[in-house]
């Protein structure tokens, strides 16, 4: 996600911007910039790349004598990382920085272009600046302009804004993306989070949805959503810079687990049309393209291929399209039979995984249409695929993926629904139900599970001192078991294997001995009885059984050592709730064992070697 900082006061603003931007680097970024009021001018300096590039530009052309400035680190969503797409953006008399996604930016851009606006960048942010400028020219009042412009915006935003003619003033507004107002000895600040401001102040006010603030020198005026002024309550943070970068969480992984409800909704909601149906046409994956797909080959690595196993089920169940899954490092050595109507769908959080990139290039050499589901924007895999769907999870810092995988599953589910709608295999009600499940039910269910995280800490203690742990399940539960097993072993170093519940008795059950932990995923009512019999097979041999099942599952008291009940609002609610549970079990086990949760031994966040 992007990072915002702003300052208006009596001190030199640019050094504060540079210090604050360096403290926002942890959020992940690909470009950086600042805008400073110098006299009646606004000096704007921005670039693709790291902060060092900006420092170099400022050394070559210093910006001095400013006490009012805004700064930004950009994690690209719309538009490649480039100098022109970097923030701040300036249109007319408005200069602004933005964190979030304006979902309806294309429609807004069209209306503005019809009024003669010419855009220099491919960003939704420049469109927002142009709209605010148009309103400012009409009203002459920054607060009125902000209120009018944001009333037309759909999506998430936090803006820091400089208006020409408003010397020494910064205006800020937020909806969907966090923003704080802070009070220092020598002026006022805004920032995406307190981390950027710790060298200057610890007193901050977390802005509410729709709140607008105007900071100037020694004063700050706050307007609530209705436009009435109010006196903000400032609180004092006790966070250290390192703790603050994790949003107060002990590890990035836990922070990213907690970001999943918002990430899942943020991934799918930009692909929901006014009728509440899945629509990926803005991604270049329209109904005409999807209706021509006769077969899907899903190719990926690690957690991404585990998402692919679920994705294959979605495409077959919802769209009636035969789908197969291939581990990327195997794909090109025994390429599957495929026709020109075969879509090769690659999945990659980082967009740079060498095995997956090699498979993508192989598919393209064979003339097969390719689609990439990727989190990191404008990365090699995203660029080289014929089409791409970004998961908009935001930067994932922990090596073990959580929100990256979560949003891959959400994107695949919505894509399958769009494909089913396109080829007529799914009706509108089915497709609409999938969207509702992903945008509403799943986030709510994940929050329900996160509220009971201490349950998972207790469960984790039963796993920590065992050499072998098993996850078993049938159908989609087996696919989820693969991810659950990887999560546990990659961060806690406890060996864990995922097994098709019905397959265990064909050999591997010989490894089950008294106390062996077996976690049973039994979320599908149609398969519950069969899976329960597999549970009894291991329990009768002394296994320590943790059962994850729906709230309404008929489970006798002695069926398992521990039962974790999952919301059943919809299939998506149950699946994503189970996902959060297994992620938290892995996390708590690793913490209990004192492992380096965010940087597990031997692992890299992006495996760029084959």
As annotated, the active-site residues are 2, 605
> What would the x/- binding string for ligand AGP be over residues 355 to 394, using CB under 6 A?
-x--------------------------------------
Q: Contact between 329 and ligand AGP (CB under 6 A)?
A: no
Per CB under 6 A, which of residues 465..494 are in contact with ligand AGP?
490
Place of tokens 């603050």: 244
> What would the x/- binding string for ligand AGP be over residues 576 to 605, using CB under 6 A?
---------------------------x--
Query: Judged by CB under 6 A, which of 111, 354, 457, 607 binds ligand AGP?
Result: 607
- CB of residue 346 to ligand AGP, shortest distance in Å: 9
Query: Judged by CB under 6 A, which of 301, 439, 521, 582 binds ligand AGP?
Result: 301
Place of tokens 């142009």: 130
Burial, 437: exposed, middle or buried (Cβ in 10 Å; 0-12, 13-18, 19+)?
buried
Residues 6+ apart with CB under 8 A from 490: 399, 400, 600, 603
Of 47 and 595, which has the nearer Cβ to ligand AGP? Answer: 595
Residue 257 CA, chain-centre distance (Å), reads: 10
Going by the DSSP 8-state scheme, the letter that residue 221 receives in this structure is E
Question: Which among 375, 363, 292 has a CA at the least distance from the CA of 326?
Answer: 363
Conformational region of residue 46, where left means phi above 0, alpha means psi within -120 to 50, and beta covers everything else: beta
Helix, coil or strand: residue 78:
coil
- CB of residue 102 to ligand AGP, shortest distance in Å: 27
Q: Contact between 327 and ligand AGP (CB under 6 A)?
A: no
Of 166 and 349, which has the nearer Cβ to ligand AGP? Answer: 349
Per CB under 6 A, which of residues 43..72 are in contact with ligand AGP?
none
- CB of residue 372 to ligand AGP, shortest distance in Å: 10
**E strands, 10-67, where?**
31-38, 41-48
> What would the x/- binding string for ligand AGP be over residues 394 to 423, using CB under 6 A?
-----xxx----------------------
The torsion of the CA quartet 552, 554, 559, 562, rounded to 10 degrees, works out to 10
Distance CA 22, CA 59 (A): 16
Tokens of 321: 């399209």
Place of tokens 């900006």: 54
Q: Contact between 304 and ligand AGP (CB under 6 A)?
A: yes
- By beta carbon distance, the residue nearest ligand AGP is 302
Of 172 and 481, which has the nearer Cβ to ligand AGP? Answer: 481
Number of chain residues interacting with ligand AGP (CB under 6 A):
16
Helix, coil or strand: residue 191:
strand
- CB of residue 37 to ligand AGP, shortest distance in Å: 41
- CB of residue 305 to ligand AGP, shortest distance in Å: 8
Half-sphere CA count of 585, side-chain side, radius 13 A? 32
Q: Contact between 303 and ligand AGP (CB under 6 A)?
A: yes
Q: Contact between 263 and ligand AGP (CB under 6 A)?
A: no
Concatenated DSSP letters for 386-436? SEEEE-------SSS-SHHHHHHHHHHHHHHHHHHHHHTSS-HHHHHHHHH
Per CB under 6 A, which of residues 489..548 are in contact with ligand AGP?
490
Point out which residues bind ligand AGP (CB under 6 A): 301-304, 348-350, 353, 356, 399-401, 490, 603, 606-607
């Amino acid at each position: 996600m992007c990072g915002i900082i702003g300052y208006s006061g009596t001190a030199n603003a640019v050094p504060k911007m540079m210090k604050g931007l360096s403290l926002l680097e942890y959020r992940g970024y690909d470009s950086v910039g600042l805008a400073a009021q110098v006299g009646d001018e606004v000096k704007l300096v921005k670039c693709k790349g790291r902060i060092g590039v900006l420092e170099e530009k400022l050394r070559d052309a210093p910006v001095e004598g400013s006490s009012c400035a805004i700064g930004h680190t950009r994690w690209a969503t719309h538009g490649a990382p480039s100098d022109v797409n970097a923030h701040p953006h300036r249109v007319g008399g408005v200069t602004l920085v933005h964190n979030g996604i304006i979902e309806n930016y294309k429609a807004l851009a069209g209306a503005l272009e019809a009024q003669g606006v010419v855009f220099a960048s491919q960003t939704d942010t420049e469109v927002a600046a142009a709209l605010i400028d148009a309103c400012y020219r009409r009203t002459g009042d920054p607060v009125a302009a902000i209120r009018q412009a944001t009333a037309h915006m759909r999506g998430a935003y936090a803006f820091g804004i400089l208006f020409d003619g408003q010397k020494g003033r910064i205006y800020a507004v937020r909806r969907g993306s966090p923003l704080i107002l802070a009070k220092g000895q020598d002026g006022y600040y805004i920032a995406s989070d307190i981390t950027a401001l710790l060298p200057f102040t610890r007193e901050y006010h977390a802005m509410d949805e729709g709140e607008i603030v105007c900071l100037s020198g020694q004063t700050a005026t706050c307007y609530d959503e209705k436009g009435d002024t109010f006196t903000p309550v400032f609180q004092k943070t006790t966070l250290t810079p390192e703790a603050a970068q994790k949003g107060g969480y002990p590890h990035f992984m836990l922070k990213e687990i907690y970001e999943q409800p918002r990430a899942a909704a943020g991934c799918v909601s930009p692909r929901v049309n006014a009728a509440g149906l899945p629509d990926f046409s803005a991604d270049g994956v329209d109904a005409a393209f999807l209706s021509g797909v006769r077969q899907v080959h899903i190719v990926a690595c690690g957690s991404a291929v585990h998402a692919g196993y679920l994705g294959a089920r979605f495409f077959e169940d919802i769209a009636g399209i035969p789908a197969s899954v291939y581990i990327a490092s195997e794909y090109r050595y025994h390429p599957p039979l495929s026709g020109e109507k075969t879509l090769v769908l690659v999945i990659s959080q980082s967009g740079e995984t060498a095995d997956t990139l090699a498979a993508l290039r192989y598919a393209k050499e064979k003339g097969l249409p390719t689609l990439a589901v990727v989190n990191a924007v404008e990365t090699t895999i995203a660029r080289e695929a014929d089409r791409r769907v970004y998961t908009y999870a935001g930067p994932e810092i922990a090596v073990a993926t959580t929100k990256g995988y979560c949003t891959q599953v959400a994107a695949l589910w919505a894509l399958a629904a769009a494909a089913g709608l396109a080829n007529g295999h799914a009706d509108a009600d089915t497709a609409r139900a999938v969207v509702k499940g992903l945008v509403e039910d799943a986030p709510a269910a994940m929050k329900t599970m996160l509220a009971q995280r201490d349950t998972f800490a207790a469960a984790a203690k039963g796993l920590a001192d065992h050499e072998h742990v098993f996850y078993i399940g049938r159908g989609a539960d087996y696919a989820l078991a693969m991810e659950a097993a990887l999560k546990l072993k990659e961060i806690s170093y406890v060996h864990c294997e995922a097994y098709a519940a019905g397959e265990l008795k064909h050999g591997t059950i010989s490894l089950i001995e008294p106390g062996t932990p077996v976690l049973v995923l039994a979320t599908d009512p149609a398969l519950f009885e069969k899976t329960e019999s597999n549970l009894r097979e291991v329990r009768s041999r002394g296994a320590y059984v943790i059962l994850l099942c729906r709230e309404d599952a008929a489970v006798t008291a002695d069926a398992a050592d521990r039962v974790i009940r999952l919301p059943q609002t919809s299939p998506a609610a149950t699946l994503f709730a189970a996902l959060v549970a297994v992620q938290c079990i892995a996390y708590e086990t690793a913490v209990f064992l004192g492992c380096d949760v965010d940087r597990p031994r031997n692992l890299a966040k992006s495996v760029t070697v084959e």
